[in-house]
Structure 1
């Protein structure tokens, strides 16, 4: 080791060590630095210290959350091929023409970068999740986004609206030219996100089950030499320190940290993905095992060490062979920079010339982007030693498991004080005005002004698009009837009110969205967004939230009956979503669901289809309005009791709806969530109005003796189903046989009217064109 590259940490006293770490720009704590010294047995080089600082960040190491996730989340089922531990989860899909296919499913966050530089932050979030799926050998066939923004009418309205527009621009400006369709998503507005927006992204891919690629050096490296090939953009300083930046509280003046945010290039990525497909196909044809991994957080050092460690090998990486732009960069920057649009490929040395030819000649990466290329930068070792060389000298030299093992913190927990019950709801005198106010609010208005920016048609696989149903549906395999459905969501007000119950509700909302279209729920992913885990109250919320997710998933088997749990196959934890003022976000677990249809032709949308059919309600309307949109609109608070969630009852209800859709008895379906029955009914009516000029009439007098606003806006879980008169009796008999409530409550109309009736009183009686204008105008000022 060159003496000048060594940091004198061992000689510092505890106070001086903390000051030295801060002066060097490291976020390691003094205790973590001492642990690093113990593992190395000496002072670290600057490169080594940078690697540990990155690898031991919350973003990379899950040092606070890993034990919680392992303790509570189910990750296995008969459908799972690969679960957590890889870059993405892989589940069985089905067989077509004798070939077994799998779906690849991943979930990530890009919160801090999107708050600081919204366009680039959101764009690189899409870029990162696409790489996670692609490096499993899959073709990426869709992305979704779950977005949380501040109050667009609040004290920081101008900044919030700028972030909204920037994030939306970043998503479409990356995904559209990349050629990956947007499958929709979820948006929520709340003042607690004023200083920390959330940008969570999900991606879906399709791959032959026998061609799933692992992120590891294969065992074959014991029998012949293997080398490391770096693919893509030349390595520069962009994104350096990004993982540590994402693992810290956003400070005042954080806009000065925009250098931590990566720079996207979707056009290079598109060519790179095509080159990857060609190279992987050729490698599969050679019958040679290989490893493949994207370069995200931690860059070259993270990807190469994890590839080696996962296979039980070591690695030598030569920084002098890493393509860089003009000029030189310090070795710690080349090692840990998070430059976008890069992958790492581990292949037999004898096959490397052809691999390089595919990227550099056939797909001409150097001509697509100056300095982009495929280059051999390292060699696999059989002694589990990990070294990084610069100028022929080691700047990092350690056992690979020392680099990758990570650390664990058992954080303190303290329950937060009970929330106030909330003010009594005032009487409602004008139901029409209240209805218009709700459907025109940011959280209940139409998302069409946002989704119209996104390309949903590219690749030609879409069956049901964003906004047409509770989940999007695709036909991933050309010529096959197999369909894949995906949805994403979560209600932060619910989780703030009760972390356990609110998180369980998020799981069941994801499941309801899938069965609405006729898909069998197969797998889940989560993105767990919380404040500072060093705060005992925040960490207690996190633990209770994860426990709620796990218990809800265990209560619902993939078959819709008791049996194996529905598994979480991938996910992400994002801590430190808090400003320097101490204001944290609402605890925000976001759950994505994946489902499978044997025949996508049976899938149904949420739009009513014909006049004269009936509307069936399943799910009682409870007088429990805690954290509801109604309560917030009337009182400004989100106190009170959440709707009841009985796992056994809801599992049976989900199975009943799924079976009814599969049998072709359901013309349209919509789950009841935010805004309750009234908003769900309007959304069904607006779909039918847009396509056929239909309307809807819902009498609520038979729903109990509670106040009309409770029956209309209670968010108790349930479904609205459009059913023909001929199929009503068999459907009700099916539900009764399963012990599930079902009541006919309304009918569709041949005229474009929307009516909510209570006895002889018309609470709402309006032209649908008028209501559509109110609904569609809700978020338009914030995204245009």
Structure 2
């Protein structure tokens, strides 16, 4: 083949494609000629970081993904773990974790809404009933008007879509940091419940090798929205150029399509038909068709003229790669396909509900493993399907960064002032104004709501006592000082939050948010973060096996400002745990005056990146808390044992702000109406009060004091519950009545104030 590099370079530039010239030359070698416009757009989409994981896949393979409870690990739209037996059936939990960062920065409402929509579809397509979503958000400082606008829009998008869909919000966390001023993060987790024998896979089944199978497209008519969305999520953020790459959601249409899908899936199961089901997200029809074929060991012949469109004369590359929302792909036997189409179009009348919506047969699966696309009576793409889905990998250079590890020269302590400053800071204020937008009660399965405990607890199976605890975390203040510990503590904190409610962690998901992988320093941060996550997961196996398994996740690169400044390393991890009896779940609120406050865990001089340093001293510090897997596991076992024996009345993990801040939060949670507070019997020392070395605070009755003797984990009584709404120590006291009201309302004043 003659040298076509110059021609390729010109086409890449004229069409605004993000693939490199070297990658385009590789595409030409796969097709054996000058690629067509559709082929270039197809590979540009499918070889983007978002779809291909071309820079990260090698490192992701180091993460532990297996354990006895894992039904399905990474590789499909969502992960699945065993959960409980009830009613003669085994029930599984389905979990997925995605990012929608760039779209949410450009169009916050639409970006966040479609982020929720996409992750809900990922879980739903595995055959699950979606039982909750959780959003983990990162914004610039609330003092910035642009950051406030983005935050308001993102929250609006999350609540509008989730509430309209009838899916409860399970909380999450929100962090403000100057590093997100130009690039917010919107990570969304979705959780579902599926009967084990009704799991659906996202590829064409093996039966297609002997029986003709076709691809049925379901949902909204295709338009140009989201065209280039996958590559937009895999390139430097440009707000002006990216607006057209943001999708538009329609949760009300989705509800009707979901009902129609349920009818079709029930029919297929009842008849014993093997089928595949996948949502159309990044890459649109191109992605769903190539992945369903490739992962099923097949090829496909795609007929773009059969795709319903809402805009006439769309170019074939737009029809194939646009990311129009509320669409699904079904791989079914040809002899039943017309009955499937009839259910959508006639029984549920999708074309009447929404102009152009419905179901259409748009292709057939083939045995030759070729990806062939026809449009207007001609061939517009032809390539090996594995080249599209597996054909690109990059080995990136990693260059270590020297971190400033200096500590403040002095550490003055004034607990009433310190705690007040921390409580009213962007990091310390209550998230209740944010949660108030979300519906956590829909489906009537939420036992512990956002803010009531360290993790949300839901009861997913009606009539079954098993509870599911869900929490997500990630600390960029740690990550920017030590990327390894940022990764390890993202796992450990979410793990502790689940344990603190009394649940045994079953699995985890991750979303790895970083700058450009082409920057060696950023790629080093990424590699260290992955290493930290892997080490923490291997150290924290409680449910059996050798690790806490990562069963689903996402990598989001190119999170940076226009001038190339990367966000702080931001690995965000969600952990999911099981309680045999949801009524034993523990919240964080104080229960009874005279009870003891018990500290589980050592206090060490580890305040780097912490809330006290940042808000009270204006210093980052350097000594980030170390990760000690053995200690974490021993503490978790003790806490779970005590909760199981009804020794613990309230439980809270120690993290941001340290022991004193955790104790104050327990008092806040009980509220001024209960008139309970905490007296701490410890020295007025910054390490004892504010160190963020991991641990737990437990409320225990005096009669259970003998249980403290002879334990493997370090445990001691450090205070008691008092009949006054205050927190006090040796020589100091802080009345919490006024501060609590300010703490609850402060976030609304910060973010939702009138401009």
2:300·2:366 contact (CA, 8 Å) conserved in 1? yes
Q: Tell me the secondary structure at the aligned position of residue 259 of structure 1.
A: helix
SS in 2 for 1:339: coil
The question of whether the paired residues in 1 share the 8 Å contact of 2:421 and 2:616 is answered with: no
* Cα distance between partner residues in 2 of 1:618 and 1:229: 56
Any idea what SS the aligned residue of 1:497 has? Answer: coil
Q: Does 1:115 align with 2:105?
A: yes
Point out where structure 1 has 5 or more consecutive residues left out of the alignment. Answer: 1-8, 702-706
Q: 1:223 aligns with which of 192, 210, 228?
A: 210
Q: Deviations over 1:278-309 (max 9, x none)?
A: 22121111101100001011100110110011
Within the candidate set 20, 28, 41, 2:32 is matched to: 41
Q: Distance in 2 between matches of 1:773 and 1:502?
A: 32
CA distance in 2, matches of 1:362, 1:389: 30
Q: 2:679 aligns with which of 697, 713, 733?
A: 697
Paired position in structure 2 for 1:6? none
Partner of 1:443: 427
> Do residues 729 (structure 1) and 720 (structure 2) align?
no
The whole-number CA distance in structure 2 between the counterparts of 1:368 and 1:710 is 62
Q: Distance in 2 between matches of 1:783 and 1:185?
A: 18
CA displacement, residues 407-445 of structure 1 (integer Å, 9 cap, x when unaligned): 1110011101232414324423x4322211110001011
Structure 1 contact 518–604 (Cα < 8 Å) conserved: yes
- Is 2:513–2:555's contact at 8 Å kept on the other side of the alignment? yes
Counterparts of 1:607 and 1:717 in 2: how far apart (Å)? 19
- Whether 1:132 aligns to 2:126 is no
Query: Hey, what's the Cα distance between the residues in 2 that align with 1:344 and 1:744?
Result: 58
Question: Please, which of 606, 613, 622 is the counterpart of residue 595 of structure 2?
Answer: 613
Determine helix, strand or coil for the equivalent of 1:632.
helix
- 2:716 aligned residue (731, 743, 749): 743
1:519 and 2:490 aligned? no
In 2, the alpha carbon distance for the partners of 1:421 and 1:93 equals 46
- The reply to whether residue 779 of structure 1 matches residue 752 of structure 2 is no
Query: Which position in structure 2 is the counterpart of 1:181?
Result: 168
Provide the C-alpha distance between the structure 2 equivalents of 1:505 and 1:550, rounded to a whole number of angstroms.
11
2: CA distance between counterparts of 1:655 and 1:226? Answer: 51
* Shift in alpha-carbon separation, 1:471–1:12, aligned structure 2, 3 A: same
Is 2:13 aligned against 1:22? Answer: yes
List aligned pairs for 1:530-541, cutoff 5 A: 530-541=514-525
Q: Specify the alignment match of 2:469 in structure 1.
A: 485
Match of 2:312 among 327, 340, 345: 327
Instruction: Name the counterpart of 1:73.
Output: 63
Cα distance, 1:632 vs structure 2: 1.0
Q: C-alpha distance in 2, partners of 1:49/1:524? A: 36
Q: Using the TM superposition, give the Cα deviation of residue 136 of structure 1 relative to its aligned residue in structure 2, in angstroms.
A: 0.6
User: What is the correspondence of 1:299-378 to structure 2 with a 5 Å cutoff?
Assistant: 299-378=284-363
1:249 aligns with 2:219: no
Residue 734 (structure 2) aligned to one of 765, 776, 782? 765
Shift of 1:464: 0.8
Shift of 1:317: 1.2
SS of the equivalent of 2:605 reads coil
2:638 to 631, 635, 656: 656
Deviation at 1:637, TM superposition (A): 3.1
Q: What is aligned with 1:213?
A: 200
Q: Does 1:404 align with 2:389?
A: yes
**Is the partner of 1:557 in helix, strand or coil?**
coil
Q: Which residue of 2 aligns with 1:268?
A: 253
Structure 1 contact 81–91 (Cα < 8 Å) conserved: yes
CA contact (8 A) 1:55 1:406 kept: no
**Alpha-carbon shift at residue 693 of structure 1 (Å):** 3.4
> What is the alpha-carbon distance in structure 2 between the residues aligned to residue 10 and residue 401 of structure 1?
24
Give the Cα separation in 1 of the matches to 2:302 and 2:152: 41
Equivalent position to 1:234, from 192, 196, 221: 221
**8 Å contact from structure 1 (residues 10, 37) kept in 2:** no
Match of 2:146 among 155, 159, 169: 159
- d(CA) in 2 for partners of 1:363, 1:655: 51
Matched, 1:394 2:379: yes
Regions of 4+ moved over 6 Å: none
Residues 96 and 509 in structure 2, CA contact (< 8 A), matched pair in contact too: yes
Deviation at 1:710, TM superposition (A): 2.7
2:304 and 2:319 in contact (8 A); partners too:
yes
CA distance in 1, matches of 2:112, 2:503: 29
- CA RMSD after TM alignment: 1.5
In the alignment, which residue of structure 2 is the partner of 1:64? 55
**2:185 counterpart of 1:198:** yes
Q: Does 1:528 align with 2:512?
A: yes
Deviation sequence 1:578-631 (CA, Å, 0-9, x none): 122121100000000011111111111111122221111111221221111111
Structure 2: unaligned runs, 5 residues or longer: none
Find the partner of 2:555 among 566, 573, 597.
573
| Residue 534 (structure 2) aligned to one of 550, 557, 561 | 550
Post-superposition shift, 1:690?
A: 5.4
C-alpha distance in 2, partners of 1:178/1:100? Answer: 27
Residue matched to 1:464: 448
Alignment check: 8 A CA contact 2:458 2:467 kept: yes
Residue pair 1:475, 1:484 contacting (<8 A) in 2 also? yes
Match of 1:296 in 2: 281
- On the 8 A contact 2:659/2:691 being kept in 1, the answer is yes
- Aligned partners of 1:274, 1:617: CA distance in 2, in Å? 50
CA offset at residue 17 of structure 1?
4.0
1:575-724 matches, cutoff 5 A: 575-689=557-671, 692-701=674-683, 708-724=685-701
CA displacement, residues 346-384 of structure 1 (integer Å, 9 cap, x when unaligned): 111222233223222333222332211111111111221
